Chains A and B, each alone.
Chain A
Amino acid sequence: MRVFVFLARRLIFAIILMLGVSAAIFFLINAIGNPIELMMAETPGMTGEVIERMKGYYGLDQPPLTRYLLWLGRLLHLDFGTSIVYNQPVGSLIATWGWQTLKIQLPAILIALAIAILFGVTAARRQHSRSDFTVMGTALLGQSLPAFFLGILLIFVFSYTLDWLPSYGAYSTRNPLWGSPTLDALWHMILPVAMLTFFNTATLTLLMRSNMVDVLKSDFIAAMRASGIPERRVIYVHALRAAFIPMLTYLGLLIGLMLGTAPVTESVFTWPGLGSLYVAAIHQLDYPVIMGASAVIAFMLICTTLLTDVIYVLIDPRISLE
């Protein structure tokens, strides 16, 4: 029962946040000017009459508040409107392009997590040793290496110098690798996934290490060892579980933000994902896509924050439900 009350409260707060964030984005964009007018300002030879007709067509002749409420109302039916540039429903655009984003982001997070656990635990168990120092140093460097610059380096080395891997796109336009579209898609994923993995791994490893160092110092680990629980179980089941809990917040943030950082990471590889869609929409002032995509990106972050809270309650018995 208490769990449901807790969940309901969190859900309500998340919905309020969602409304607030979408309104903020909406009015911030509209405060600058009417999107159609701005769009047409860059298109020579547009008469006032055409502009008015366009406004009417896209429902942009209403005052901003009415438009926001209309947009919100359609959103409830999962209707994001129609893209001005692509002339397709924004919802299906986001779904297709978003899938490409998840395809590289999720594997990158999972691989990074596995690496972080491996290196973080190893470094923590040999604190102040040479291997600890190496792991820490690499992670500190990795934290400061901008993902997009890393991507450029990877392309320079593996595509241009060694000519092993493709430098752009999600698939070959002609002649897929070994005639298999699946292998071809995987082949194209290697560099973007490598870039995102490295980027994610740095902070995750540092967190894992410092949490693990704290946990390994705690009495209950000593007590488990003193009770004859095998070392492997102590480290990889009990200590890992305890050290993992504080990482959830960051992991949730990483998943929540993966769409938010996609514009940069995807533009390095000209990857046809949500980020590229968004950047293109901004360049072309494709207003419904800008609104829809930014709402989805914010929604993702709010949802993962909510999910993180729920998971905390499920796995950490110490958290009381208010």
Chain B
Amino acid sequence: MTDQTIASHVSAPKPAAKPARGIWRQGWQRFARSRTGMLGLVLVLIVVATAVIGPFVAPFDAQDQSPMLDPGAKAPPSWTNPLGTDRMGYDVLSRVIYGAPTALAVGLGAMSIAAAIGILVGGVAGYRGGTTDEVLMRFTDFFLVIPMFVVILAVVRLLGVAVVDTPFESVPYLNLGVIILLIGVFSWAPIARMTRAEFLRLKNQEFVEAARCIGATSGDILFRHILPNALPSLIVIIALGIGGAVLAEAMIGFLGFGDPAAVSWGQLLYFNYQALKVAPWASLSPGLAIFVTVLGFNLLADGLTDAFNPRAKN
């Protein structure tokens, strides 16, 4: 081995990496120009930062009900409790901060599940075509018409009763886990349809045929050639889905079917809504948190559309 070969070896990956980066770099440039997208990114980053750093800087612990004694329940905002206290004597600001990791866990968790199922089903349907496609797409249609929300409520409630006195009872955050799982399981259908459409579009393009000609395996074609090109469109729909999942969990919590062990914004609303007249801060703060999070992901998706699919918008 001479120095030259080493040198060429080191520099070799560079040109290969460039075209792969192109679409993302170009996308980022367009994204940076999208005002809505940047606003969305900022909002999402605020939520993420709150989720990550928040618990360390929150004035009170998540389960700390001591404000019940000092300013008392439903106390208006003050220096010690910047957003007041709620019906049960919690510090509202702290509870809202602790809600952020829950919301993100739901959004990311549910969408990971939905994306995994959706990309798999849609990808196979689109790539295989024929009867496989027909069967899988009918299956997808089926999931589109199941009233997800209604089913989730029933399952969460019944499960809550069924696990009593079973070993499952001691599983931490079991309820939340089930909610995440169910939201994921009922949200993959649009992702599958989008993946299928993208795969149908891409599989006959020349670069895929070229890959097939040089003897690439099916897996190679799918994961190295088709999927990366389908990703930009999928990212948009997944970003929208994260907002949707956060919202779905908030609605479940608001109806009182949330996980009692987890702090979630929807549940905060459920606990405090009855006292809206006396302690509006306790209801409005978590509501606003939900709004900001959903808005952030929706705007982010809007910016991503600008970035990767500028023709989809006029």
A–B proximity contact (CB within 8 A)? yes
Question: Interface of A with B (CB < 8 Å)?
Answer: 17, 20-21, 24-25, 28-29, 32-33, 35, 38, 41-42, 127, 140-141, 143-146, 148-149, 152-153, 155-156, 160, 210, 213-214, 217, 256-257, 259-261, 263-264, 267-268, 278-279, 282-283, 285, 290, 293-294, 297-298, 301-302, 305
Residues of A within 8 A of B247 (CB): 146
| B314 on the A face (CB < 8 A) | yes
CA A143 to CA B301, docked complex, whole Å: 13
Say whether, besides A213-B314, A260-B150, A149 and B290 are in contact (CB < 8 Å): yes
Q: Which of A127, A146, A153, A278 contacts B294 (CB 8 A)?
A: A146
Question: Interface of B with A (CB < 8 Å)?
Answer: 36, 141-142, 145-151, 153-155, 157-159, 161-162, 164, 243, 247, 250-251, 254-257, 269, 273, 276-277, 280, 283-284, 287-288, 290-291, 294-295, 298-299, 302, 313-314
Which interface residue of B150, B155, B255, B302 has the most chain A CB atoms within 10 A? B150
Say whether, besides A144-B298, A294-B150, A29 and B243 are in contact (CB < 8 Å): no
- Are B146 and A264 within 8 A (Cβ)? no
- Are A267 and B147 within 8 A (Cβ)? no
- Are B302 and A140 within 8 A (Cβ)? yes
Give the interface SS of chain B, mostly helix, strand, loop or mixed. Answer: helix
Q: Which of A24, A29, A298 contacts B158 (CB 8 A)?
A: A29
Q: Which of A20, A140, A259, A279 contacts B36 (CB 8 A)?
A: A140
Say whether, besides A21-B146, A33-B158, A28 and B151 are in contact (CB < 8 Å): yes
Say whether, besides A140-B298, A149-B287, A25 and B151 are in contact (CB < 8 Å): yes
Which A-chain residue is minimally distant from B252 (CB atoms)?
A264
Say whether, besides A145-B291, A279-B153, A282-B157, A263 and B255 are in contact (CB < 8 Å): yes
- Are B142 and A20 within 8 A (Cβ)? yes
CA A217 to CA B311, docked complex, whole Å: 14
A140-B298, A285-B161 known, 17 other contacts, Cβ within 8 Å: A25-B146, A28-B155, A41-B161, A143-B298, A146-B247, A146-B251, A152-B287, A156-B280, A260-B147, A260-B149, A263-B150, A264-B251, A264-B254, A267-B254, A282-B153, A283-B157, A305-B145
Residues of A within 8 A of B153 (CB): 263, 278-279, 282
CA A279 to CA B252, docked complex, whole Å: 11
Residues of B within 8 A of A21 (CB): 142, 145-146
Residues of A within 8 A of B298 (CB): 140, 143-144
How many inter-chain contacts with C-beta < 8 Å in the A-B complex?
Answer: 133
- Are A29 and B147 within 8 A (Cβ)? no
- Are A279 and B161 within 8 A (Cβ)? no
CB of A29 to closest CB in B, whole Å: 6
- Are A149 and B291 within 8 A (Cβ)? yes
- Are A160 and B314 within 8 A (Cβ)? no
- Are A297 and B155 within 8 A (Cβ)? no
Say whether, besides A17-B145, A21-B142, A146-B251, A156 and B284 are in contact (CB < 8 Å): yes
- Are A146 and B295 within 8 A (Cβ)? no
Q: Which of A127, A145, A146, A290 contacts B154 (CB 8 A)?
A: A290
CA A41 to CA B159, docked complex, whole Å: 12
Residues of A within 8 A of B161 (CB): 33, 38, 41-42, 285
CA A210 to CA B312, docked complex, whole Å: 10
CA A287 to CA B288, docked complex, whole Å: 35
Which A-chain residue is minimally distant from B153 (CB atoms)?
A282
Residues of B within 8 A of A278 (CB): 150, 153
Which A-chain residue is minimally distant from B257 (CB atoms)?
A282
Say whether, besides A20-B142, A160-B277, A210-B314, A294 and B147 are in contact (CB < 8 Å): yes
- Are A298 and B145 within 8 A (Cβ)? yes
CA A213 to CA B312, docked complex, whole Å: 12
Residues of B within 8 A of A290 (CB): 154
| A/B interface sample: 5 pairs, CB < 8 A | A20-B142, A140-B302, A263-B255, A279-B153, A301-B147
- Are B162 and A32 within 8 A (Cβ)? yes
Residues of A within 8 A of B299 (CB): 140, 144
Which interface residue of B153, B257, B284, B290 has the most chain A CB atoms within 10 A? B153
Say whether, besides A24-B146, A146-B290, A263-B255, A210 and B313 are in contact (CB < 8 Å): yes
